[in-house]
Amino acid sequence: MATIEQKGMYRTFPRSGKDVSFTHYCPGCGHGIINKLIAEACAELGLQDRTIFVDPVGCGVFTYYYWDAAHISAAHGRASAAATGACRARPDAVTIAYQGDGDLGAIGFNNAFQAASRGERFGCIFVNNSLYGMTGGQMAPTTLDGETTTTTPFGRDPALTGHPLHVCEVFSQLKAPVYIARVSVADTRRIMQAKQAIRKVFEIERDGRGYALLEILAPCPTNFKMSPDKAAAFCMNEMEKEFPLGVFRDETREPLAVRPVPRAASCRELFAEKDAVPAAADDPAFPERRFKFAGYGGQGILSLGLCIAEAARLERRHTLWFPSYGPEQRGGSANCSVVVSGTPIGSPTVEHPDVLVCMNRPAYERFVGDVKKGGTVVVDETVPVEVQPPEGVSLVRWPAIRMAEEFGVPKAANTMMLAALKKFKLTGLSDASLEEALVASFRKKPELGEKNRELLRRAESGARS
Ligand SMILES: Cc1ncc(C[n+]2csc(CCOP(=O)(O)OP(=O)(O)O)c2C)c(N)n1
Ligand code: SF4
């Protein structure tokens, strides 16, 4: 690909500070051909403004430099998981995951397989060059029996490493996919067929029909240690013996009504339908606040975070709650991050909280150093404070556990902590929302909701600060 004039690709590729008009692929690499076909299909169908590409880690990693559309860069093996999120969040988009055979067939097999099984509405373009190209030519699940790679220098031995994985054939066992096919880019005729199949994947996603998998056999001259023509011949003669080309499933001729597109409920539908709270409203005057809640599992620390997120939702703030569990059900460490904002939130992770709430010593020692200047740490008074918070961070020692015990409800220590957040106005949310959220968290046991509201008020007025 020396000159890139056609639509679908950028005209030049500004990589590593240089504005070049050639890709990073080796001469004769299948990725280069496939990248061009994908760009052409996307542009010819007029889908550039609707397409979200999910890029892999592998030799296809830089497609965001080449294809002129929206991109998400996924971690190695996770393109199908990221594509699931993208197609659910943007049902109107054409979502295309691009994955290598190490990426999809090895580390990422399960998330790709499960996405196919669920019939997620994205197309997966799966480039099978029979080995790990980017990392130097190691064996992949698709390596042929007897094929030499850097990790099978004497040829793949099925007795040690099994036989090649046939991804199309395995995915064909699933009910949900609407299209599964294998093509090749080893010669001109095959390239033309591959182009048609790629167009088909775009059309399926354009029409919202469901999950499509297109495997493309591709030469990797560098790691095959062959000239481009010999690598193409290997792809045609050897790879096709193991991986026959063909269409394994094509349900695209069925009228759409026969196969309704499975539609995932959005978060808003899942959580907001019952009480019909409208979606978040933008309010740039409301500053973003980031919280971290940490303690042992079973101390109600995740519910406390959820309560703040729920209070924010009731006020139509943008909010995210992000739990992190230790391996144990009870007694292990648990923490959650909550972000509340007047504008849409970029990331749910909280590295530097404005407010840190700690119910035990390990949590305090782990997170206290991260609190932002001007922030506040609320820590249960039983926690020995040997490490001081950073300069400019306020410390509130609060008798949450003791009060809960004195009130005869030891499990309500998290409600006692909420009292501290409310009393010292640390959330930016109204008292009414915090109370309503607390009561709502006991929806299944309404008597406990009112009881906790009462405990909250007692703790707030009774505690020494
Ligand atoms: C989690 C993780 N594990 C391993 C790697 C190293 N790694 C990068 S690319 C790659 C394999 C690439 O092979 P493939 O997916 O077949 O794509 P190709 O380069 O052949 O197109 C591996 C193992 C990584 N980046 N991240
Ligand atoms: S190493 Fe192989 S897959 Fe990677 S760019 Fe070169 S030829 Fe293509």
Domain ranges of the chain: 13-258, 275-462
Could you name the CATH architecture of 13-258? 3-Layer(aba) Sandwich (3.40)
Query: Does residue 6 carry a pLDDT above 90?
Result: no
- Which amino acid is located at 276 in the chain? A
Choice from 62, 124, 132, 216 to test ligand 1 binding pocket (greatest atom count within 8 A of CB): 132
Whole-angstrom distance, CA of residue 167 vs CA of residue 60:
19
pLDDT in tens, 86-102: 999 999 999 999 999 99
Whole-angstrom distance, CA of residue 228 vs CA of residue 251:
36
Query: Based on C-alpha coordinates, what's the Rg of the chain?
Result: 27
User: Which distant-in-sequence residues (6+ apart) come within 8 Å of 250 by Cβ?
Assistant: 178, 179, 181
Query: Does residue 10 carry a pLDDT above 50?
Result: yes
333-341 and 289-296 beta bridge pairing = antiparallel
Ligand nearest to the backbone CA of 126: 1
Instruction: Please give the structure tokens belonging to residue 179.
Output: 């299209």
Q: What is the 3-state secondary structure (H, E, C) of 110-126?
A: HHHHHHHHHCCCCEEEE
pLDDT in tens, 44-71: 999 999 999 999 999 999 999 999 999 9
Atom of ligand 1 nearest to the CA of 127: 21
**pLDDT at residue 331 in the model:** 63
Residue 28 sits at the vertex; the CA angle it makes with 25 and 30, to the nearest 5 degrees, is 70
Q: Whose CA is nearest to atom 8 of ligand 2?
A: 29
Query: Does residue 265 carry a pLDDT above 70?
Result: no
Choice from 76, 109, 216, 224 to test ligand 1 binding pocket (greatest atom count within 8 A of CB): 76
**pLDDT at residue 348 in the model:** 87
Atom of ligand 2 nearest to the CA of 59: 4
**pLDDT at residue 262 in the model:** 47
Q: Whose CA is nearest to atom 2 of ligand 1?
A: 76
Per-residue confidence band for 378, with pLDDT thresholds at 50, 70 and 90: very high
Q: Verify whether ligand 2 is closer than 6 Å to residue 220 (CB atom).
A: yes
**Least confident stretch, 12-21, 202-211, 261-270, 380-389:** 261-270
**pLDDT at residue 264 in the model:** 45
Ligand nearest to the backbone CA of 127: 1
Q: Verify whether ligand 2 is closer than 6 Å to residue 130 (CB atom).
A: no
Q: Residue 362: what are its φ and ψ, rounded to 5°? A: -60, -40
**pLDDT at residue 283 in the model:** 96
Query: Does residue 431 carry a pLDDT above 90?
Result: yes
Query: Does residue 14 carry a pLDDT above 90?
Result: no
Query: Does residue 330 carry a pLDDT above 80?
Result: no
Residues in the chain: 465
Q: What is the mean pLDDT of residues 387-395?
A: 95
Q: What is the CATH class of 275-462?
A: alpha beta
Q: What is the mean pLDDT of residues 189-193?
A: 98
SS3 (DSSP) at 315: coil
> What share of the chain has pLDDT > 90, as a percent?
83
Q: What is the mean pLDDT of residues 217-239?
A: 98
Q: What is the mean pLDDT of residues 354-380?
A: 97
Q: 59 CA distance to ligand 2 centroid (A)?
A: 6
User: Which distant-in-sequence residues (6+ apart) come within 8 Å of 29 by Cβ?
Assistant: 59, 133, 218, 219, 220, 221, 222
Q: 79 CA distance to ligand 1 centroid (A)?
A: 12
Q: Whose CA is nearest to atom 22 of ligand 1?
A: 135
Q: Whose CA is nearest to atom 5 of ligand 1?
A: 76
Per-residue confidence band for 4, with pLDDT thresholds at 50, 70 and 90: very low
Q: 86 CA distance to ligand 2 centroid (A)?
A: 28
Q: Which of 458, 436, 439 is nearest to 448 (CA)?
A: 439
User: Which distant-in-sequence residues (6+ apart) come within 8 Å of 212 by Cβ?
Assistant: 122, 123, 124, 177, 178, 179, 180, 200, 201, 204, 205
Instruction: Please give the structure tokens belonging to residue 311.
Output: 């209070």
Q: 101 CA distance to ligand 1 centroid (A)?
A: 9
Q: Verify whether ligand 2 is closer than 6 Å to residue 128 (CB atom).
A: no
Instruction: Identify the DSSP state of 107.
Output: I
- Which amino acid is located at 327 in the chain? P
Atom of ligand 1 nearest to the CA of 140: 16
**pLDDT at residue 256 in the model:** 56
- Which amino acid is located at 199 in the chain? R
Whole-angstrom distance, CA of residue 418 vs CA of residue 463:
13
Choice from 55, 134, 138 to test ligand 1 binding pocket (greatest atom count within 8 A of CB): 134
**pLDDT at residue 173 in the model:** 97
Instruction: Please give the structure tokens belonging to residue 4.
Output: 């890139």
Q: Whose CA is nearest to atom 3 of ligand 1?
A: 76
Q: 17 CA distance to ligand 1 centroid (A)?
A: 24
Residues having CB closer than 6 A to ligand 1 are: 57-60, 75-76, 100-103, 107, 127, 129, 132-135, 140
**Least confident stretch, 7-21, 43-57, 250-264, 384-398:** 250-264
List C-alpha distances in Å: 97 to 56, 81, 85, 123, 132. Answer: 8, 9, 11, 6, 18
Burial of 252 (0-12, 13-18, 19+ CB in 10 A): middle
Q: What is the mean pLDDT of residues 216-229?
A: 97
User: Which distant-in-sequence residues (6+ apart) come within 8 Å of 444 by Cβ?
Assistant: none
Q: What is the mean pLDDT of the chain?
A: 92
**Least confident stretch, 19-23, 292-296, 422-426:** 19-23
Choice from 15, 26, 33, 235 to test ligand 2 binding pocket (greatest atom count within 8 A of CB): 26
Ligand nearest to the backbone CA of 136: 2
Per-residue confidence band for 1, with pLDDT thresholds at 50, 70 and 90: very low
CB atoms within 10 A of CB 296: 18
Q: 196 CA distance to ligand 2 centroid (A)?
A: 24
Q: 188 CA distance to ligand 2 centroid (A)?
A: 19
Q: Verify whether ligand 2 is closer than 6 Å to residue 129 (CB atom).
A: yes
SS3 (DSSP) at 53: strand
Q: Which residues of 390-420 are buried (b: 16+ CB within 10 A; e: fewer)?
A: eeebeebbbbbbbbbeebebeebbbbbbbbb
Q: Verify whether ligand 2 is closer than 6 Å to residue 359 (CB atom).
A: no
List C-alpha distances in Å: 354 to 249, 292, 375. Answer: 53, 8, 4
Ligand nearest to the backbone CA of 220: 2
**pLDDT at residue 463 in the model:** 56
Whole-angstrom distance, CA of residue 131 vs CA of residue 112:
18
**pLDDT at residue 298 in the model:** 84
Query: Does residue 307 carry a pLDDT above 70?
Result: yes
